[in-house]
Structures are given as structure tokens and as C-alpha cells.
Amino acid sequence: MAEIKVMKAKDMKKVSSRQKVGKVLGLTATYLFLGIMAIIVIFPFYWMISSSLKEMDEYRRAIPTLIPKVLDFANYVEVFTSEDLLLGKLFYNTLLVGVVSTFFSLIITVLSAFAFARLEFKGKNALFALLLATMMIPGELFTITNYQTINDFLGLATLGKALGNQFLITIGNWRNTYAVLIIPFLVSVFYIYLLRQNFIQIPNELYLAAKVDGTSDFKYLCKVMIPLALPTIISITILKMMGSWNSYMWPRLVANDEAHRLITNGLRTAFTNAEGVTDIPVQMAAVAVVSFPLFLVFIFLRKYIMKGVSRSGIKG
């Protein structure tokens, strides 16, 4: 019996040592994979910073240098002083569009999510299913239809041309206006779905008790549901602002004049001379300056984004 116990103890030690080796190898492989992926993700940002600190001659060398031989901070000075970029105007346009579109989008999202989560009306589930189905449609198709709409809103531009009425032509053609940058994307089905899932998790007994006390739906929404769902609402606000900040294709298509140009489009065409040669180091410096606020937003507010998504019941 003693020999059998000794053999079992030896077998247990072998199994335990194998498990430890397997655990160490698994952790090593996991961290190695995460390290490689981190390098892949971080390297473009490092290259942006490195290029922004180079002189043009060094940047155009046949063999690129990972570390600048001479740190040229004059590139950043030129970003703020160049008349070619007009950084202040670009920041103003982008902030104006971002803040206004986020404000009205939040109002639409909160009211719609509340209606689909708490109110009862005929066809609610069918309507919500129809809205979710639109998420399966490629965004490029919406771009085409929205472009046709803003060129001749409700046919007013065509009618104005037929009648020779400049007023109808103006209100029917939204190109090169702030409205065309704000209105077409005020409604986000994904944000409505995200907030609705959060609202549904709030006990319905609170709503029934509020109705017994004579509380209106709007007051209940403001006093109870919005405070309880505040992390998700903050997440939606952050994501909407970042989406407006990063928007490129639609503004370039419909409002690329100097008066309404957003910061992404301004960077694309800045620092290019008459011969079509772009000063890449200065352009990289401008990209770094523009990206810096987004880095700050993500670093300091990332917990709200994660908390808001987790509270909505969406896992990924």
C-alpha cells in the first residue's frame, strides 16, 4: 500500500509540473501575441510622430530612418502659423458641427430609446425591427441617397429653377452649408438600440410606481431613466463626437469649400505646393496635433465607454 501511495504521489507531481509548464507556455504565447499586436497598432502612431520631427530631406531618403537624426520642431510651429492650413477655422468648423450634431442626436436617441423601451403603441416591435434591419444596409448606399436628397431637397431646387426663384433654389440645395454636415446623420439606429437595451434593464416597477404618483412620462425620463443610464449616454456622446471629428468622406463630398471645410479635409490638401509636392513632415505634425485631443478623450474617458457598453447588455 505504501508503494502505491508513493507512486500516486509521484504521478500527481508529474501532472502538477506538466500543468505548470503548460500554464507558463500558454501565458508566454499569450503575452507574445499581445506584444506583437501592440507593436503593429502602435507603430503607425510612432511613425507619425517620428516623421513630424524630421526635415524634408531626411524624410525623402531612400532608406528611411526610424529615429530622426535632427529633431525639427519647426514643423509644429508651421502648423499653427501657416496660412495654408488655417487651423483655427478648421477647429471651429469641426467643433461646431460636432457639438450641434451631438446635441440634437442625443435628444433624438434618448426620446426614441425611451419610446421603444417603455411606451406601448401599435407596431412598436415591427417598427423597431425595421430600424434594426437598416443597420444591414451598407453605409455607401445611404451616402448616395443622402447626396441626391441634399442636392434637391423635396424637389424645391428643381421647382425654383423652373420658376426662376432663387429662394427655392437656395433652400432646396444644401451643398456647402453647415446643415448638410449636421442633419443627414442625426439619427443613429445603433445608438438608439444601445440606449434602449439599457433602458429595458431598469425595473418596470419604477415606471408603474411613477405613473401611480401622477408623474408624466417626460418627467420620469428626466428624473429616473436618464440618471440611471448616464454611463451609456456619456458613451454615446463620446462616440458621436469622435465620429464627427473623424468624418472625412461625406464632408469632402458635400461641403469642401473653405468656409465649411472640416479638419480632416483641411489636412488632406494642406502643405501641397503648385507642383503637387506635399511637405509630409509638416503634414504629419498637423495630423499629430489634430489627433492629440482624441488621444486625451480616449485616455481619460475610456472607462465611461466600456461601462456604458457593458451596462447595455452588449458583449463582444
CA dist list (Å): 162 to 72, 165, 169, 173, 305: 58, 8, 10, 14, 51
Neighbours of 84 (CB within 10 A): 16
The model's pLDDT over 262-316, given as tens digits with 9 standing for 90+, comes to: 888 888 777 777 676 777 888 888 888 888 887 887 777 777 666 655 655 544 4
Domains of the chain: 83-311 (1.10.3720.10)
* 223 contacts: CB under 8 Å, gap ≥ 6: 215
pTM to 2 decimal places: 0.76
Side-chain-facing half-sphere of 135: CA atoms under 13 Å: 12
**The pLDDT value given to residue 37:** 92
Name 247's Cβ contacts closer than 8 Å, sequence gap at least 6.
181, 262, 264
Pick the closest to residue 256 from 167, 156, 180, 157 (CA basis): 180
Nearest C-alpha neighbor of 84 from the set 274, 248, 307: 274
- Reported confidence tier of residue 36, pLDDT bands at 50, 70, 90: very high
Rounded-to-integer distance, Cα 163 and Cα 152, Å: 15
The 10s digit of each residue's pLDDT in 101-135 is: 999 999 999 999 999 988 888 888 889 899 888 88
C-alpha cell at position 139: 453605409
Say how far apart CA 73 and CA 86 lie, in whole Å.
19
Of 199, 191, 207, residue with least CA distance to 226: 199
Cell readout for 128 is 423597431
The C-alpha cell at 68 is 530622426
Instruction: Give 71-97 pLDDT, tens digit per residue.
Output: 878 888 888 887 767 788 888 888 899
Q: What is the pLDDT of residue 170?
A: 67
Q: How many residues in total does the chain contain?
A: 316
